[in-house]
Amino acid sequence: MGNARIRYRTELQLQCAVFLLFLMRASFGDIGYSVQEETKNDYVIGSLAKDLNLDFQVLAARRARLDYQGDRRYCGIDFNTGDFIVLERIDREKLCGQTSADKPCLLHFEFILENPLELYNVALEIEDINDNAPVFPKDVIKLEISEAAPKGTRFQIATARDLDVGINSVQDYRLEQNDNFVLDVQTSQERGRYGELVLKNALDRELHREHALLLTALDGGSPPRSGTATIHILVMDINDNAPVFSQAVYEVNLLENAAPGTFVVKVSATDKDEGANGEINYDFNHVPENVKRLFHIDQKSGEITVTGKVDYEETPSYGMEIQAEDGGGQAGHCKVIIHVTDINDNVPTITIKSAVNPIPENAPPGTEIAVINVKDQDYGENSRIHCSLPEDSAFELQSSIKNYFTLLTTAGLDREDVSEYSVTITATDGGSPPLSSNAHLNFRISDINDNPPVFDEQSYSAYVCENNKPGSSVITVRARDPDWRQNGTVFYSLLSSEVGGVPVSSFLSINGDTGVIHAVRSFDYEQFRSFKVLVVARDNGSPPLSSNVSVSVFITDENDNSPQILYPAPAGSSFMTEMVPKAAQAGSLVSKVIAVDADSGQNAWLSYQMVKSTDPGLFTIAVHSGEIRTQRDISESDSMKQILVISVKDNGQPSLSTSCSVYLLISDNLAEVPELKDMSYEENNSRLTSYLIIALVSVSTFFLTFIILIVAVRFCRRRKPRLLLDGAVAIPSAYFPPNYAEVEGAGTLRSSYNYDTYLTTGSRTSDFKFVSSYNDVTLPADQTLKRSPNQSTEERGVSENGSKCATLYFV
Ligand SMILES: *[C@@H]1O[C@H](CO)[C@@H](O)[C@H](O)[C@H]1NC(C)=O
Ligand SMILES: *[C@@H]1O[C@H](CO)[C@@H](O)[C@H](O)[C@H]1NC(C)=O
What is the 3-state secondary structure of 734-759?
CCCCCCCCCECCCCCECCCCCEEECC
Nearest CA to ligand 2 atom 8: 548
pLDDT of residue 494: 94
Alpha-carbon distances of 13 from 19, 37, 344, 383, rounded to whole Å? 10, 19, 114, 118
Judged by DSSP in three states, 457 sits in coil
Which of 51-60, 187-196, 725-734 is the least confident region? 725-734
Q: Using the atom order of ligand 1, give the atom closest to the CA of residue 487.
A: 1
pLDDT of residue 400: 81
Mean pLDDT of 295-317: 92
pLDDT in tens, 542-574: 899 999 999 999 998 888 888 988 888 765 544
pLDDT of residue 642: 87
Nearest CA to ligand 2 atom 10: 548
Nearest ligand to residue 538 Cα = 2
Structural domains present in the chain: 2-127 (2.60.40.60), 140-341 (2.60.40.60), 349-446 (2.60.40.60), 454-556 (2.60.40.60), 564-670 (2.60.40.60), 686-810 (no CATH)
pLDDT of residue 209: 87
Mean pLDDT of 149-154: 91
- Name the residue of 457, 548, 549, 550 to mutate for ligand 2: max ligand atoms within 8 A of Cβ: 548
Q: Using the atom order of ligand 2, give the atom closest to the CA of residue 495.
A: 13
* Residue 616, preceding peptide bond in cis (omega within 30° of 0): no
482 backbone dihedrals φ, ψ, rounded to 5°: -75, -5
Q: Using the atom order of ligand 2, give the atom closest to the CA of residue 534.
A: 13
Helices (H), 399-531: none
Give the pocket of ligand 2 (CB within 6 Å). 495, 534, 547-548
Q: How confident is the model at residue 329 (pLDDT cuts 50, 70, 90)?
A: confident
Residue 750's closest CA among 761, 734, 762, 764? Answer: 734
Q: What is the Å distance from ligand 2's center to 762 Cα?
A: 26
Nearest CA to ligand 2 atom 13: 495
Q: Using the atom order of ligand 1, give the atom closest to the CA of residue 543.
A: 5
Q: Using the atom order of ligand 1, give the atom closest to the CA of residue 450.
A: 5
Mean pLDDT of 599-605: 87
Nearest ligand to residue 541 Cα = 1
Task: Name the helix (H) or strand (E) containing 673.
Answer: helix 672-716
Q: How confident is the model at residue 575 (pLDDT cuts 50, 70, 90)?
A: low
Q: Using the atom order of ligand 1, give the atom closest to the CA of residue 484.
A: 14
Mean pLDDT of 686-693: 72
pLDDT in tens, 461-479: 999 998 999 999 999 999 9
Residue 129 has pLDDT above 90, yes or no: no
pLDDT of residue 392: 85
Q: How confident is the model at residue 427 (pLDDT cuts 50, 70, 90)?
A: very high
- Which of residues 622 and 189 earns the better pLDDT score? 622
d(CA 673, CA 679): 10
pLDDT of residue 746: 36
Mean pLDDT of 685-697: 73
pLDDT of residue 10: 41
Mean pLDDT of 588-603: 89
Q: How confident is the model at residue 489 (pLDDT cuts 50, 70, 90)?
A: very high
DSSP structural state of residue 190? T
Q: What is the Å distance from ligand 2's center to 501 Cα?
A: 22
pLDDT in tens, 650-689: 998 888 999 888 888 888 876 665 444 444 444 455 566 7
Give the pocket of ligand 1 (CB within 6 Å). 446-449, 484-487, 541
Judged by DSSP in three states, 674 sits in helix
Residue 147 has pLDDT above 60, yes or no: yes
Q: What is the Å distance from ligand 2's center to 491 Cα?
A: 16
Q: What is the Å distance from ligand 2's center to 98 Cα?
A: 160
Residue 766 has pLDDT above 90, yes or no: no
Amino acid letter, residue 242:
A
Q: What is the Å distance from ligand 1's center to 761 Cα?
A: 23
Q: What is the Å distance from ligand 2's center to 417 Cα?
A: 26
pLDDT in tens, 192-250: 788 889 999 988 888 888 899 999 999 888 889 999 999 999 998 888 889 999 999 99
Mean pLDDT of 168-181: 89
